[in-house]
A and B are shown apart, each in its own frame.
Chain A
């Protein structure tokens, strides 16, 4: 394990590297206070600084946020072929990162994996706030294909706010060395690859058959302008999950409420997870 401390927007940040299956995963720990977990969605974690929601929560929590394999500098892992491989990997990483047993905020693909893990390992997370989770499919209102588009359109599907998706679509402006820029480009490509791998070709892997096992309290949050998975899916999740204790929609926000509405989401999280 290695790492370093930094400060972001007045909160302490520790970024460490944890060995995982011959490579490593990045784990960010930010702030002080009761411990809470954050599992990223499609855009991973930024190379510099914190996701806005993590920065917001870190004002009164210690937020533990791992980057899944392939995302955001964590080593790409060829062994993750099907969703069950990812769920087992998350289980291992949750233990390595100190995420296990913490209340969890999870977004998009991360929320999908978190539900799958809790279904088979209930002690993993005692309560969850899920931001636009994937995992169900309605043929009459299908989840959009985020990758059958040009890069500029992919960004718009995720968020109208370009800054929210810069981490996986733009060169790192702090890099000047050409070879470093190339490797940064490869890293961003692998982040998109990992995201695509989780949702290809349809982000539904039988969760509806296991959702009744997700017995922890769940709060659902959706951006009203989500272009990837329609907000109406909150009703579908509320139908299959046995313990939905709250449903929230945030106006003017797309698929990344953790990036585009951090204060509103943090307020929901504080109320839901105490």
Chain B
């Protein structure tokens, strides 16, 4: 099993009463909440953390793209990837990714990823999400009815741009290009491995299965909730008679390791509650714009991941409003409640539901093996930083994972299956040494 140290890059200083005072962490979050000095500090800390993980033996480091979002400070993952391409030695650089439909023309993606593959010596994984409705439809104003057609056309253009031996014309519905000629070319041939991050659309399962691409479920909600979604993908593979190679799957999982379970609960409570209660405080009105889902997904009744986040945030807000109403009705003073009060999700619940895999190294080893085997995923995107976790704790968690967990779990699947979706860098003798 390959381990990718994945970073969402959340903004760490939202006010404690953020869910009470603001309606959404995404799309229309109050711009005045952003302190550029904090941004400066955490961008550098976060890049340092990615580099630290790469140095400790994680197979890859991973990043993604969000817009107008306080839990994801990476409108342009390629900028972060460019720094990592220089500063990390052998780790794969997993960009999940560039939201194809948002770039005009999408050959910009083909070009920038070819640059990243070139600078890194062929260590790039190219992720191409359709993108969440908040990012694509609201923050970037893309018509939901045409989003997926734009995406598929962009995918066709990028793949052809990477593989064509000749300059060609591309006459699409959305992209009219008389001369397509990506220069530079990617190091990896025919192109960097392509992973498709999904959030629950049944058509993404079909797309990955039909095109032999990695289906990558970037879930907030852990392996227990993610099982049905990953099964949906593997069912599509089975329908086509294709192999159930676990390396064609990837999954994101929050992980918290300490010497003991008790200590882990103490250490990681605050950042986990910050993430799940503030960073996922998503207004439900942004979660399901008409046209974003395909008819097949509507027909299947599948709830998307951001839809679930918004639904749970709404439920928490409504429970809180009901508590206040009850207090008013009974003429009692409203008692201040801690973040673990009934209307907020408790850390114990997060762990119980599998949102966070937590415990001693042995416990985490056991659970991560279960994650891999139950979901049949050979690429695990570990979120060892979450919420407002401080730098010291991130490094502790990362080191515990790298030294005590990874060596025990990495052998999973490696002797049974070949990973066709992992970067194939240039041989060492051909690799440049940055700074020399």
Say how far A59's CB is from chain B's closest CB, in angstroms: 34
Chain A positions within 8 Å of B314 at CB level: 150
B290 touches A147 (CB 8 A): yes
Query: Which residue of B141, B144, B174 contacts A193 across the interface (Cβ within 8 Å)?
Result: B144
Chain B positions within 8 Å of A186 at CB level: 295, 298-299
B284 touches A193 (CB 8 A): no
CB closest residue in chain B, given A201: B141
Chain A positions within 8 Å of B27 at CB level: 148
Chain B positions within 8 Å of A153 at CB level: 285
Given A182-B299, A200-B141, A81 contacting B146 (CB threshold 8 A): yes
Query: Which residue of B142, B143, B174, B295 contacts A189 across the interface (Cβ within 8 Å)?
Result: B295
B138 close to A (CB within 8 Å)? yes
A32 close to B (CB within 8 Å)? no
Say how far A42's CB is from chain B's closest CB, in angstroms: 11
B290 touches A148 (CB 8 A): no
A244 close to B (CB within 8 Å)? no
B286 close to A (CB within 8 Å)? yes
B291 close to A (CB within 8 Å)? yes
B173 close to A (CB within 8 Å)? yes
Chain A positions within 8 Å of B291 at CB level: 192-193, 196-197
A185 close to B (CB within 8 Å)? yes
A195 touches B290 (CB 8 A): yes
A148 touches B138 (CB 8 A): yes
CB closest residue in chain B, given A194: B145
Given A148-B138, A148-B285, A148-B286, A196 contacting B145 (CB threshold 8 A): yes
Say how far A5's CB is from chain B's closest CB, in angstroms: 31
* Most chain A CB atoms below 10 A, which of B143, B291, B293, B301: B291
Q: How many A-B residue pairs have CB under 8 A?
A: 63
Say how far B138's CB is from chain A's closest CB, in angstroms: 6
Chain A positions within 8 Å of B149 at CB level: 78, 81
User: What total of chain B residues lie within 8 Å of the partner, measured CB to CB?
Assistant: 24
Cα A149 to Cα B23 in complex, Å, equals 11
Cα A134 to Cα B49 in complex, Å, equals 50
List CB contacts (< 8 Å) of A166-198 with chain B.
Answer: 182-183, 185-186, 189-190, 192-197
CB closest residue in chain B, given A196: B290
Give A129-162 as 1s and 0s: 1 = Cβ < 8 Å from B's Cβ atoms.
0000000000000000001111001000000000
Say how far B30's CB is from chain A's closest CB, in angstroms: 16
CB closest residue in chain A, given B285: A149
Given A148-B138, A196-B144, A196-B145, A189 contacting B290 (CB threshold 8 A): yes
A189 touches B298 (CB 8 A): yes
Main secondary structure of the interface of A (DSSP, over half): helix
Chain A positions within 8 Å of B284 at CB level: 150
Chain B positions within 8 Å of A192 at CB level: 290-291
Chain B positions within 8 Å of A201 at CB level: 137-138, 141-143
Chain B positions within 8 Å of A197 at CB level: 143-146, 291
CB closest residue in chain A, given B141: A201
Say how far A145's CB is from chain B's closest CB, in angstroms: 9
CB closest residue in chain B, given A202: B141
Cα A2 to Cα B105 in complex, Å, equals 44
Say how far B68's CB is from chain A's closest CB, in angstroms: 12
Query: Which residue of B137, B144, B174, B298 contacts A185 across the interface (Cβ within 8 Å)?
Result: B298
B285 touches A189 (CB 8 A): no
Cα A197 to Cα B137 in complex, Å, equals 11
CB closest residue in chain B, given A80: B145
Given A148-B286, A150-B284, A150-B285, A189 contacting B293 (CB threshold 8 A): yes
Say how far A169's CB is from chain B's closest CB, in angstroms: 11
B145 touches A193 (CB 8 A): yes
Give A74-89 as 1s and 0s: 1 = Cβ < 8 Å from B's Cβ atoms.
0010100100000000
Chain A positions within 8 Å of B137 at CB level: 200-201
Cα A246 to Cα B232 in complex, Å, equals 58
Chain A positions within 8 Å of B75 at CB level: none
B289 close to A (CB within 8 Å)? yes
CB closest residue in chain A, given B173: A81
Say how far A167's CB is from chain B's closest CB, in angstroms: 14
B143 touches A200 (CB 8 A): yes
B285 touches A200 (CB 8 A): no
Say how far B102's CB is from chain A's closest CB, in angstroms: 13
Give B276-305 as 1s and 0s: 1 = Cβ < 8 Å from A's Cβ atoms.
000000001110011101010011010000
Chain A positions within 8 Å of B289 at CB level: 147-148, 196
Chain A positions within 8 Å of B301 at CB level: 182
Q: Can you offer 12 A-B residue contacts whose CB atoms are under 8 A?
A: A78-B149, A81-B149, A149-B285, A150-B284, A150-B285, A150-B314, A186-B299, A189-B290, A194-B145, A196-B144, A197-B291, A200-B143
Extra contacts, 4 of them, besides A186-B295, A189-B293, A200-B144 (Cβ < 8 A), are A148-B138, A186-B298, A193-B144, A197-B146
Using CB atoms and an 8 Å cutoff, list the residues of chain B in contact with chain A: 27, 137-138, 141-146, 149, 173-174, 284-286, 289-291, 293, 295, 298-299, 301, 314
Using CB atoms and an 8 Å cutoff, list the residues of chain A in contact with chain B: 76, 78, 81, 147-150, 153, 182-183, 185-186, 189-190, 192-197, 200-202
**9 A-B pairs with the lowest CB-CB distances in the bound complex, closest first:** A192-B290, A193-B291, A201-B141, A197-B145, A149-B285, A200-B143, A193-B290, A196-B290, A189-B298
